[in-house]
Amino acid sequence: MGPKEAAVDEEEQFKGESIQGQNPASKNPRPSCPLAVLLGERYGGGAARPKTYTQEDEAKEQMTRYREADLLEVKKDPLVWWKEHQYEYPLLSHLAKRYLCIPGTSVSSERVFSTAGDIITAQRSALLPEHVDQIVFLNKNLRRM
């Protein structure tokens, strides 16, 4: 057997082994064109990887656009503005609606403290804190008949 025949036999043997899965596939496949070999991966030799667009990227983009937008007039309602722009800034509008709906007053908490003061008297000073919480809760949440 000559050198050419031995080389052909080795190629056929290698092909047969890779088909059967005995030898692992090459880790670095050949680039599809010689120009990619010459210029390297930086200039398009590597496979194009699709960029994943995460929710964080979306939020950053929305923040950038929001900062560049015109300011809201003082007389206008911010909740109405966010409702009008909810499709332009979906993530930000969700947060804005959540935090802008919080009332800017302490009246409700003052009422709870007042009710607790009415419940805890000298005669009821031995009540456990859990029982005071339950009484205040029931007082504020039961409908009066």
pLDDT score recorded for residue 111:
83
pLDDT score recorded for residue 5:
52
pLDDT score recorded for residue 18:
44
User: In the chain, which residues have pLDDT < 50?
Assistant: 7, 14-21, 45
Rounded CA-CA distance 60/56 in Å is 6
Let me know: does 72 contact 89? Beta carbons within 8 Å.
no
Rounded CA-CA distance 104/3 in Å is 91
The two tokens of residue 2 are 């000559």
pLDDT score recorded for residue 32:
64
Structure pTM? 0.39
Query: Exposure of 89 by Cβ count < 10 A (0-12 exposed, 13-18 middle, 19+ buried)?
Result: buried
Write down the domain spans for the chain: 72-102, 107-141
The pLDDT tens digits for 107-128 are 878 888 888 888 888 888 888 8
pLDDT score recorded for residue 64:
92
